[in-house]
Amino acid sequence: MPSYSPYDWNESIQQRNEFIEDRLKDGSPVVALTYDAGVLLVSVRQTQRKVYEIYDRLMFSAIGNHSDIEQIRSAAIDVAHSEGFSRSPDDVSIQRMVSFRISPAIKKVYSDPFAQPIVFRGIFVELGKKAERDQIVTLSYDGEFSSSLGHAVVAGSAYAEDRMREHLTTETSGGVPTLAQALTAGVYAWGVGAKHLDAEDRADADYSTEGEGKSDVSAFIKEKLAKGWVLEAGVLERNTTRESKFRLLTESELSETLTAYRTE
């Protein structure tokens, strides 16, 4: 039986990283934003649905292979219901779910050079009783995760994510936005990330945000929507009287945001 040295393992992991990151560049970015009455998840998609409820007060979105996303989504639902049954619904939290159950499972697959790699980067959102108590956790293909307050993004490259976060930080510097403001900021941030990924895919070394105007990003978003891409947004509502706090926003609720990107 051939030996397998630490060098071989490291080289295998590097190759896996390159493979996964190359595949993730095809994914449509996702933006999570706290707004005054809840939390918003927004993306612009082609075919597959992007935003899902996981449990009461929890929702999820991701980029990557659809089969991997679906597997992790199903696992998250199972974990949430198991926790809710054995403890109580109030004890079901994103932090426990990700740190104790989902992250270790992904890390195990990631560190096994003989296992099929998981192509995935996701956002898990938990609604708090107040805006400052909302939890947003991003989880990557290697099992590493991080928590954010206010907003978070996932995209196909670190550079695209950085530019998206820069925009969101600027847009939310005045305080917690309304839903309309969060939608506007989220869609534009999606455009910033998707436009960068498109430029990276074309190996456009001269592409930069320096000097980039809103009209450039807006034109990019308008072009995608004209080609049949669909704006999808889900919310967890803090003060709803409905049993479920999650819902997808309707076309009429998205129409005002879409007006700026309609082809005349």
149-162 pLDDT, tens per residue? 999 999 999 999 99
Question: Dihedral (C-alpha) 121, 127, 128, 130: value to the nearest 10 degrees?
Answer: 110
Angstrom distance (rounded) from CA 49 to CA 234: 11
For residue 13, what pLDDT is reported? 85
**How high is the pLDDT of residue 85?**
86
Q: What is the pLDDT of residues 33-89, one digit of tens each?
A: 999 999 999 999 998 899 999 999 999 999 999 999 999 999 999 999 998 888 888
Confidence tier at 144 by pLDDT (50, 70, 90): very high
Q: How confident is the model at residue 114 (pLDDT cuts 50, 70, 90)?
A: confident
SS3 246: strand
Please tell me the pTM assigned to this model: 0.90
Instruction: Give the per-residue pLDDT at 121.
Output: 98
What's the pLDDT score for residue 1? 43
pLDDT at 33: 97
Predicted confidence at residue 209, as pLDDT, reads 45
- Give the per-residue pLDDT at 163: 95
Residue 203 confidence (pLDDT): 58
CA angle 42, 27, 145 (to 5 degrees): 75
